[in-house]
Structure 1
Amino acid sequence: MADTSTSLDSRRRFLAQLSLGAALAAVAGAAAALPQSEPDPMKTTDSAKLGYAIVGLGKFATQQIMPNFKDCQHARITALVSGSPEKARKLAREYGVAEKSVYSYENFDSIKDNPEVDIVYIILPNGLHAEYTIRAARAGKHVLCEKPMATSVEDCQKMIDACNKAGKKLMIAYRAHYEPFNLDAVERIRKGELGKLRAITSDHGRPVKPTEEKADVWRVDKKLAGGGSLMDIGIYALNAARYLTGEEPEEVTAQEFSDKSDPRFKEVEDNIHFTLRFPSGVLASCTSSYSYAEVKRGRAFGDKAWLDLDPLSDYYEHNLKIGDKEGKREPKLQEGNQFAAQLDHLAECVRDNKTPKTPGEEGLKDVRYIMAIYEAARKGKAVKV
């Protein structure tokens, strides 16, 4: 992650090259599902909804985040921030955003004078999260920031401190905390449906193609990404192990392998396998990769039954299976809009002055564990956390 000293020239070159491919997106404690309540006429009018400024108009922002505002009861888009004026103006017309509320990265700080903006959603490469979170807080705005929160523990703390100093909320976009299938899995584990939890496995992989996908260029740049597959998609496995167990790991081990003859992995890692040991004795075995076929799954094993989420962290079409000595079954669950639920949750927290379910401290924990995993892989031995 770039800190506040990131040069304007380098940022301009980066934004021009990529048109800001969005950071993707991989839940401490069992977060209760955000209910899709009946619309409240007093809260569903545009004037009653809190305004979001979308910072970064890459693929994830334009194809996933922005379209899902249509299902929000408490949030709407009121500003856009982009390095591409033409693209921003086109999207502004599509989403009914006033031209005066279209910003560049150079004049971003003037967003402080826009009363239509309550929350800034930062959907930038990891290396820019800290800078824009801090600038948003100084502009007097609440912040929703994509994960990983930052590329260092120090930057995470700076983000938390900046928002605290400004008296503003900071929430990290862990959308799985608001996704019905994941939340149902957590509830079943807590109720003891699997018996005593013994182990967890989770695998997340996607092949990066920086020569074909603009959104993948920054992912293989260490300064902008902070790391490779672990930072980008392994974080889903890491976070899932924490929210499925409801515990914090006390020790990590890891192994990493990257083919350095492959130009994609000259700066960042490809394959990494890490294990988390929890206080209850649960072992979580997790993998992330930038070279094997796309997978986003997780499984929890108890002494009575197992539970499978495949996919665990996809955008849509989730699936949950449970197996025991009686056989396998698929509970009938209704797909929910995790994006809208997440956006509405922060809006309600701002309106009601409540702490978000996934605050900055949640993001800090994952980054701290990620750094411990990297250390364990380098040293070839277990690292206490």
Structure 2
Amino acid sequence: MTLAGWIDQYTDRDWQQSTGGTVRYALIGLGWWTTDVALPAIAESEFCEATVLVSSSEEKATRIADEHGVNHGISYDEYHAGTAAEAYDAVYVATPNAFHLEYAETAAELGKGVLCEKPMEASVERAERMVDACDDADTPLMVAYRMQTDPAVRRAHELVEEGFIGKPVQVYGNNSQPLLEMIPDRDQWRLDSELTGYGTSVMDLGIYSINTTRYLLRRDPVTVESRMASHHEAFADVPDERSSFIAMLEDDVQMVCTASQRAHADTQLKITGTEGQLELRPAFHGECTLHASRGDVTVEISHASFEAVEEMREEFDYFADRLLSGREVYPDGEHGLVDMRTIEAIHRAAESGAPVDIGR
């Protein structure tokens, strides 16, 4: 395919199999991401409808449901009891990490599809239990890696597959943000190890570099080395206010990544091959822009060049399309487990000061 032809197809839904139908979602966890991002994305979607909101109290859930024109607002206890189960087909789990498992298990028992936010859980063991619960109930499970539905990322993968950069050689990724400026609460769950899991910067931010690279290259990490530090008192309960790691991927592709929850906002991912280079900048927040270079040719493509594509809308529609068509889900739970095992290995490597092999 020529670059011109490739650009013409930039926003195509290459994954879509369904031509009609609706999947009704119950949204579990009503933080700002759900109310400000997920609900508007579903409202703009082709195959989705939000019909149930689930929160810590029925009063809160009902209030927010009324604000957004959603039919049902129920509490967590009511959800586990099966209240309004007839009103939804799938759940979107957007609670703090350490609570994902219990809501996925209930959805599996009720026969509902599960779209679970990343990282899957607070630990590898709990993520494995989620996969087992969904497998045992024959319930579709998808991990919400929204970058995999972004056109810039999907087209970058196609360029890699078609040999645009030659053989992949190295990767650099960074994801940083000033968390305490964004959410000025030192008691927030991302700084509580019992809720977030192994840490905060790699779990919440570094996972973007890890998973997007895995999607682009179809290569998984094999070994990792890592360094971490926490200086600010708000980060006393987590080890990785600042983090960096080196990973060796399959086929000896080397990856260097940094992530911090207390730094200037910046997101980028650069993949260099023997013949060319692809860079996503900004990569993970804002409108993802793709820079493709080979020889003396450089192409820059941003969302501004096309009708805006909202990756969360695409994510919800993608999962709905899989449910409506009966097609295989990607990324599924087994895919998400690789990231969980990689993150756990990164933290072990930081503790030991030595390279760690990633378990399977």
TM-score, length basis structure 2: 0.89
The corresponding residue for 1:254 is 226
SS at match of 1:313: coil
Q: 1:364 matched to which residue of 2?
A: 337
What stretches of structure 1 of length at least 5 have no aligned partner? 1-31
* Structure 2 gaps, min length 5: 1-10
Q: Which residue of 2 aligns with 1:178?
A: 149
What is the match of residue 192 of structure 1? 163
Q: Tell me the secondary structure at the aligned position of residue 241 of structure 1.
A: helix
Q: 1:212 to 1:194 in 2, by over 3 A?
A: closer
1:263 to 233, 242, 245: 233
Is 1:347 aligned to residue 320 of structure 2? yes
1:280 alignment partner in structure 2: 251
Partner residue in 1 for 2:7: none
Report the counterpart of residue 114 of structure 1 in structure 2.
Answer: 85
Identity of aligned residues (%): 32
Q: 4+ runs of 1 displaced by more than 4 Å?
A: 35-40
Corresponding letter in the other structure for 2:209: A
1:231 has 2:203 as partner? yes
Match for residue 383 of structure 1? Answer: 356
Matches within 5 A, 1:1-385: 34-35=13-14, 40=19, 43=20, 48-98=21-71, 101-111=72-82, 114-209=85-180, 212-213=183-184, 217-226=188-197, 227-259=199-231, 262-268=232-238, 269-314=240-285, 316-326=286-296, 328-331=298-301, 334=306, 335-385=308-358
Alpha-carbon deviations, 1:299-349, whole Å to 9, x = none? 0111222211011112x4221112344153314663422112211121222
1 CA distance for matches of 2:266 and 2:329? 29
1:300 partner SS: strand
Deviations 1:40-85 (A, max 9, x none): 5xx2xxxx41110001111100111100112211110010001244
Taking the aligned partners of 2:47 and 2:195, their CA distance within structure 1 comes to 33
Counterpart CA distance in 2 for 1:215 and 1:146 is: 23
In structure 2, the partner of 1:9 is none
**Paired letter, 1:252:** V
TM-aligned CA distance change 1:205 to 1:286, over 3 Å: same
Contact in 2 for aligned 1:211/1:217 (Cα 8 Å): no
Q: In structure 1, what is the Cα distance between the partners aligned to 2:130 and 2:255?
A: 29
Asked whether the equivalents of residues 85 and 110 of structure 2 are also in contact (C-alpha less than 8 Å), the reply is no
**C-alpha offsets along residues 246-284 of structure 1, whole Å, 9 cap, x if unaligned?**
11122111111221xx22211112111111112322101
Shift of 1:188: 0.9
In structure 2, do the counterparts of structure 1 residues 383 and 229 end up closer, same or farther at CA, with 3 Å as the change threshold? same
Instruction: Find the aligned partners of 1:74 and 1:134 in 2 and give their Cα distance.
Output: 25
Paired with 1:238 and 1:321, the residues of 2 have a C-alpha distance of 19
Tell which deviates more after alignment, 153-162 or 350-359: 350-359
My pick for the range that moved more, 110-119 or 155-164, is 110-119
Question: What is the identity, as a one-letter code, of the residue corresponding to 1:176?
Answer: M
Shift of 1:190: 1.5
Secondary structure of the structure 2 residue equivalent to 1:150: coil
CA RMSD of aligned residues (A): 2.3
What is the letter of the counterpart of residue 331 of structure 2?
A: T
Give the 3 Å change call, closer, same or farther, for CA 61–171 of structure 1 in structure 2: same
Which secondary structure does the structure 2 equivalent of 1:182 belong to?
A: helix
CA 75–321 in structure 1, closer or farther in 2 if over 3 Å, else same: same
- Take 1:81 and 1:283, find their aligned partners in 2: how far apart are those partners? 42
Name the TM-score, length of structure 1 as normaliser: 0.83
Distance 2:246 2:149 in 1: 25
Q: Structure 1 182/265 Cα, relative in aligned 2: closer, same or farther at 3 Å?
A: same
Q: Aligned partner of 2:283: which letter?
A: L
Aligned partner letter, 1:318:
C
Aligned to 1:29: none
**What is the DSSP-based 3-state SS (H/G/I as helix, E as strand, rest coil) of the residue aligned with 1:312?**
coil
Letter aligned with residue 233 of structure 2: P
Per residue, is there more strand in 1 or in 2?
2
2:171/2:269 contact within 8 Å kept: yes
- Contact 2:118/2:143 (CA < 8 Å) preserved in 1? yes
Flag the 1:84–1:211 CA change in 2: closer, same or farther, 3 A: farther
